[in-house]
Amino acid sequence: MLHVHAPATPSGGPPPHHPGTAPPLAGDYRYVTDLADICAAIEQHHAGTGRAMDVAIDTSTQGRHPWYPHAYIVSFQVSIRPGQADVLYFSRGQRPAGALLHQINWLLHTDKVKLKGANLKYDLVWLATAWGVECGNFTMDTSVVGSLLDENRCNSLSLHRRLFTGMGSAADGAGRPPLDRQRLDLAPRQALLPHAGGTADACLRVALPLRRQLVQEPRLCNFYTKLLHPALRSFEAVERRGLVVDRQQYALLEQDIRQEIATLQRQLLDRLPARLRQRHAAAITRQAGAEQSPITPALLLDFLFSPLGCNLRPLRWTGRSGQPSLSAAHLAMFADHPLAGPFVALYRQLASAQKMLSTYVVGFLKHLRPDGLFHPTYMLFNGSMADEGDEGDDAAAAGTVTGRLSARDPAVQTIPKRGQWAARLRACFPAPPGHVFFQRDYSQGELRVVACVAQEQNMIRAYRQGIDLHCQTAAQLNGYDLQSFQALEQRDPGLYETLRRGGKAGNFGLLYGMSAGGFVDYAWATYGLVLSLDQAEQFRHRFLTQLYPGLSRYHAQVRAQARRDGCVWSPLGRRRLLPQIRAADPAARAQAERQAINSPIQSTLSDMLLWTMAILHRDHPDLWIAGMTHDSLYGYLPADSAPAWMERIQAVMDHLPFAETFGWSPALPFPSDGELGPHLGALKKRGGAAPPPEQTI
C-alpha cells in the first residue's frame, strides 16, 4: 500500500500550520483495495458507543459530468478519523463489483454512519449515474451549512480547510505541482493520493467545527434539518433525470433567429445617414467579421445625439462617463420621434434576437449531454461548484447570497417567459413520450409573503376578499373604484391590460422601496411601460403612503432591526448577515439596507418551493421533477394520470405546515396555480382546490 504520512500532534490531531511557514503534509493517506478496515472500525465504534460514526467521503472524477462515454470515477475516498483516509483507485473501465460494491453500498446506507461531504450532491450524482450506487445516510453538507452560517463568503472546501483546519488550501501542496482537475485520470497515483485523501480528510475535519456552529444557532439548525437538507437530496434526482430537449426545434429556432438578425442588421444600416456610416465604417466591418452587431454603442450615441444623426437632447445621463444613457428606459422616451423611434425599435429587436441566439441557443446547447438532455447543476449554497484551490474560489463561484436558487450549465431558471422568441424557445422543451409537461407556481406568492411579514392590512384585506392585487393597485393609482376598473376588462380590454400592467409593475417594483429613477427603468425593462421621472415619483408616493402604508413602516422597522443585530431573519429561519449595514460609506450602507428588506421575502418564497420539492421527493420518489425557479416547479407527469398528480402536488404546495415546523402563522394562505401541456411553450391552466396532504415534513 502506498502511504502519505505526516506525524500527528500529541493530542492525535493534525500538526499545526503556522502562518509564514511551509504547509505540512496533510495526514496519513493510503491506497486500499477494499473497505474492510473502514467497515470494521465503524462496527467497532457503534458497538462501543451505541452511536453512529461521522464519516466523510469524496470522489475524484475524469471530467465534471458523468453522462459522457469517457467519464469515470478515478478514486473513491473515505475518512473516519481526522488526519486519515483510505482511497480506492480505479483505472478506465473499472468499477466496483462483488464484495467491494457491497461494502460501498453498506457504507452509504447503514444507520451506523452519519455521512458528510463538501458539495456532496455532485459526488452522489456521479455515484448513482456511473455505479448505480444510491445513498441513504447523508446528514450534512459542509458547503451548504457553511453558506447557511455565512452566505457572504465563498463556501468552497478550499476556503473552509483554510478557516477551520491546519491543512491550508487544496492548492497548498508542500511543493507539489498542481493537478489538472479535469484530467485526474492522467495524474500519477503517488501525486493523486494526497489530493484524494486530503479532500476526504478535509471534509471530515471541516464538518466538526461547522456542526458545532450550526447547533449553536437553533433556528438555523432547524431550518437546515427540516427543509434545506431534505431539499438538497431532492435535487440529486432532479439533476440525474434531466430536462428533455427537442434538438430539431432548436435547429429551426437557430435558423430563424440568424435570418432575423441578418435582416434587422441590414435595415438598421440602411437607416443610417451616409456620413455616419462612413465615419464608423471600420467598426461596422470589424463587428460584422466577428458576427457581432454593427450598431456599436458609439454608433448609437452618434445617431441619436450628434448632429450627424437625430441630434436629440438627452434626458438621462450615465453617472460614470457623463455620456447620454443608452438604457432601454431612456431610449423608450424617444419612441415618438420620426427617425429615432423606428430605429430604436429595430435596435431593440436586434438586441433581443442576439441575446436569444448567444445565450439560449448557442450557449445552452453547449451543455447538451450525450443522452440528449440538459442536466443543470443547482446551487443551494454560495460557493465554488468544484473545489478548485485558491484561484478557483472566485472563478468557479456559483450560487446566490439571497437564498434564491440558481442553476448553471445551463442556467435554466433564466429561460424567458415573454418576448418575441420566448414561446419558440420554450417549445424546445417537450414532455417525453407518454407524459405531459406540468408547471405549478404560487399565485402572487412574493406579494402574499410580504403582506404577511409586513402585516400590511390593505394587502391582507384584498387577498382575503379574493381581489386581484394588481387590479386594486391599478384602480387606485389611476382614479378608478375597483368595480369600474374591473368593468374595463370587457369595455376596453386594451386600456385594462395597460393599466393592470402598470399596477403589476408598481407592486413588484415598489414592494421593497425602489427609488423613482429605478422604477422608471424597471417599469420599461420588465413591463414595457414608459414613465417620466415625475410620474414615477407620484406613483411611488401614492403607493407607499396611501395605498400600502404598512410597507413603509415595515421598511423602517427592518432597517432599524438590521442596524441593531447586523442581520435579518426570514420567517422560516434563514439568516442574512449584513456586514455593511453600519458602514460609513452611504452607498454601501444603502445597499445593505435594501438587502435587509428584500432578502427575507425573496428567500421565503424560494424556500417554500424547496420545501415542496423535499416533501414530494420523500413521498413520491418516482415523480419526475425537471427543475425549479424561485417561484415555480416543473416536470413531467404520466399522461393518463396527470390530473391526479396535479392534485397531489397542489396539496403539498398549498398546505405547508408553517406553524408546526417553523412557528410561523402567516395571515394568508399561499394558493398555487397549475398548468399542463405538451411542452413548456404550450401550457394551459388547470385549477381546483386540493385537500391538505396526510403527511408533511
The DSSP string of 554-619 is HHHHHHHHHHHHSEEE-TTS-EEE-TTTT-SSHHHHHHHHHHHHHHHHHHHHHHHHHHHHHHHHHH
**Residue 679 DSSP class:** B
CA atoms within 13 Å, Cβ hemisphere of 138: 26
- The string of pLDDT tens digits covering residues 494-541 is 999 988 988 888 898 899 988 888 888 888 777 777 788 898 899 899
Q: Which of 684, 623, 666, 628 is nearest to 648 (CA)?
A: 623
pLDDT for residue 695:
46
> Do residues 104 and 132 touch, judged by C-beta distance below 8 A?
no
Q: Which of 251, 628, 675, 638 is nearest to 428 (CA)?
A: 251
In degrees, rounded to 5, the angle at the alpha carbon of residue 55 between the alpha carbons of residues 47 and 392 is 175
Rounded to whole angstroms, the Cα distance separating 141 from 230 reads 11
Q: Which three cell numbers stand for residue 282?
A: 471600420
pLDDT at 580 over 80: yes
Rounded to whole angstroms, the Cα distance separating 478 from 620 reads 48
Instruction: Identify the sign of the CA torsion 661, 662, 665, 670.
Output: negative
pLDDT for residue 369:
98
> Do residues 486 and 526 touch, judged by C-beta distance below 8 A?
no
% of residues, the chain, pLDDT over 70? 90
Q: Which helix (H) or strand (E) holds 375?
A: none
Rounded to whole angstroms, the Cα distance separating 74 from 60 reads 5
Give residue 579's pLDDT band: very low, low, confident or very high (50, 70, 90): very high
% of residues, the chain, pLDDT over 90? 77
Question: Quick one: average pLDDT of 197-205?
Answer: 96
pLDDT for residue 660:
97
**Residue 685 DSSP class:** E
Mean pLDDT lowest among 175-189, 414-428, 632-646? 175-189
Give residue 638's pLDDT band: very low, low, confident or very high (50, 70, 90): very high
Rounded to whole angstroms, the Cα distance separating 481 from 228 reads 44
Phi then psi dihedrals of residue 181, to 5 deg: -70, -10
The mean of the pLDDT values for the chain is 90
Question: Quick one: average pLDDT of 109-122?
Answer: 98
Cis-peptide into 410, omega within 30 deg: yes
> Do residues 166 and 174 touch, judged by C-beta distance below 8 A?
no
pLDDT at 5 over 50: no
Q: Which three cell numbers stand for residue 673?
A: 396555480
Question: Quick one: average pLDDT of 643-660?
Answer: 97
| Ranges of H-type helices in 407-548 | 422-426, 445-454, 457-464, 469-477, 482-491, 493-510, 516-527, 533-542
In degrees, rounded to 5, the angle at the alpha carbon of residue 23 between the alpha carbons of residues 17 and 27 is 85
Give residue 13's pLDDT band: very low, low, confident or very high (50, 70, 90): very low
Q: Which three cell numbers stand for residue 481?
A: 373604484
> Do residues 674 and 650 touch, judged by C-beta distance below 8 A?
yes
More reliable by pLDDT, 481 or 176: 481
More reliable by pLDDT, 403 or 549: 549
List CB contacts of 253: < 8 A, sequence separation 6 or more.
361, 421, 424, 425, 428
Q: Which of 160, 79, 77 is nearest to 113 (CA)?
A: 79
Question: Quick one: average pLDDT of 427-439?
Answer: 98
pLDDT at 171 over 80: no
DSSP for 306-359 reads STTTT-PPPS-B-TTT-SBP--HHHHHTTTTSTTHHHHHHHHHHHHHHHHIIII
Distant-in-sequence contacts of 430-433, Cβ < 8 A, 24+ apart: 430/244, 430/246, 430/249, 430/678, 430/679, 430/680, 431/244, 431/636, 431/639, 431/678, 431/679, 432/244, 432/636
pLDDT for residue 34:
98
Secondary structure class of 628 (helix, strand, coil): strand
- The string of pLDDT tens digits covering residues 321-330 is 789 999 888 8
Neighbour-count burial of 572, counting CB atoms closer than 10 A to its CB (0-12 exposed, 13-18 middle, 19+ buried):
buried
Question: Quick one: average pLDDT of 598-607?
Answer: 95
Q: What is the dihedral of CA 110, 116, 122, 125, to 10 degrees?
A: 10
Rounded to whole angstroms, the Cα distance separating 372 from 13 reads 48
CA-to-CA separations, 395 to 261, 348, 648, 662, in angstroms, rounded: 32, 31, 41, 36
CA atoms within 13 Å, Cβ hemisphere of 673: 9
Which residue bears the cell 417525453?
432
What amino acid is encoded at 675 in this protein?
E
pLDDT at 16 over 70: no
> Do residues 463 and 471 touch, judged by C-beta distance below 8 A?
no
Q: Cβ atoms within 10 A of the Cβ of 250, count?
A: 20
Secondary structure class of 272 (helix, strand, coil): coil
Domains parsed from the chain with CATH numbers: 3-232 (3.30.420.10), 248-364 (1.20.1060.10), 447-604 (1.10.150.20)
pLDDT at 18 over 60: no
**Residue 71 DSSP class:** -
pLDDT for residue 9:
35
In degrees, rounded to 5, the angle at the alpha carbon of residue 274 between the alpha carbons of residues 268 and 276 is 75
Question: Quick one: average pLDDT of 452-469?
Answer: 96
pLDDT at 282 over 50: yes
Rounded to whole angstroms, the Cα distance separating 568 from 596 reads 6
pLDDT at 666 over 80: yes
pLDDT for residue 319:
74
What amino acid is encoded at 124 in this protein?
L
Rounded to whole angstroms, the Cα distance separating 516 from 319 reads 16
Which residue bears the cell 410597507?
551
Q: How far apart are the first and last CA of the chain?
A: 46
**Residue 414 DSSP class:** G
> Do residues 94 and 120 touch, judged by C-beta distance below 8 A?
no
Max CA separation in the chain (angstroms): 89
More reliable by pLDDT, 335 or 133: 133
pLDDT at 11 over 50: no
What amino acid is encoded at 681 in this protein?
G
Strand-pair partners of 61: 73
Question: Quick one: average pLDDT of 219-241?
Answer: 98
pLDDT at 195 over 90: yes
- The string of pLDDT tens digits covering residues 73-96 is 999 999 999 999 999 999 999 999
pLDDT for residue 584:
95
